[in-house]
Amino acid sequence: MIPLKDDNPTRRRAYVTLLLIAINVFVYFVVQPQGWNTTDPRSVQVREAVFTYEHAAVPCEVVHDHPLHLRELQTGCNNDPQDPPAFPQKNVYLAILYSMFLHGSLLHIGGNMLFLWIFGNNIEDILGPFAYLGFYLVAGVVAALAHIAAQPNSTVPIVGASGAIAGVMGAYMVVFPNVRIKSLLILGFFVLFREIEAKWLLGFWFVLQFFTAPGSGVAWVAHVGGFVFGLLVGLVIRNRARPSAMRTAYVTS
């Protein structure tokens, strides 16, 4: 199921959500190494790997409070202090923040930005721009920490905004459970367009995370951590933050 549009108008333009989308797109196309100007795909892959390890969060680094040693890049997390670090200037904690703006492919960033726009503008409308930005960033950190807790010795970098976006989705499910989402359903060879209530669409997405194929490279624990955090925040803002605005959203949906 791919959400396309929600029937949930906002009272003002979602500037922070638009800004987050713009930053993610800028980082992917301008900052991250791309293969636009070379015919050697191998060199692009090397530059992408170096850039990712230099800037993205790595569970082993966060747990042991130091950048990966050169040997750890080949043999895995072993915390050998005699081995020099691969990127000695790297701040392993700021890398958690950087990871939220890095993506692995066009499909990766395209899907994330679609979900962020559909669900983010309404949560921003409820929280206000500054609280929403804080919520988004904290959700991303919580999601990353959940992944790190599940795989503390992993030397695979974490990239993507999906943990933070999962937090937005969790909050949306609680605050706007009955809003109808225009969605694309792909069932084998059949493609259908349907309107699905947010609680069913997002609930199905959440359950689906637990069936992620092993070795798929998807940090599903981060998705779960971010989503649960968003659910908890949603329970708070549903009852306390701008109740009149929420009632209006329910009526117009």
Within 10 angstroms of residue 32's Cβ, the number of other Cβ atoms is 19
Q: Phi first, then psi: what are they for 195, rounded to 5°?
A: -100, 125
Question: What does the pLDDT read at residue 205?
Answer: 92
Question: What does the pLDDT read at residue 158?
Answer: 94
Residue 178: give its domain's CATH number. Answer: 1.20.1540.10
Question: What does the pLDDT read at residue 36?
Answer: 59
| Structural domain span for residue 30 | 2-252
**Considering only CA atoms, which of 96, 198, 71 is closest in space to residue 157?**
96
Question: What does the pLDDT read at residue 161?
Answer: 94
Question: What does the pLDDT read at residue 145?
Answer: 96
Q: Phi first, then psi: what are they for 3, rounded to 5°?
A: -70, 140
**Considering only CA atoms, which of 110, 108, 103 is closest in space to residue 31?**
103
What residues form DSSP beta bridges with 158?
A: 57
Overall number of domains in the chain? 1
Cα(first)–Cα(last) distance of the chain, in Å? 20
- Identify whether the C-beta of residue 121 lies closer than 8 Å to the C-beta of residue 19: no
pLDDT tens, per residue, the chain with 253 residues: 788 998 888 888 999 999 999 999 999 999 998 765 566 667 778 888 889 999 999 999 999 888 998 888 888 888 666 778 888 899 999 999 999 999 989 999 999 999 999 999 999 999 999 999 999 999 999 999 999 999 999 999 999 999 999 999 999 999 999 999 998 887 777 778 888 999 999 999 999 999 887 777 888 999 999 999 999 999 998 875 544 444 444 443 3
Within 10 angstroms of residue 200's Cβ, the number of other Cβ atoms is 16
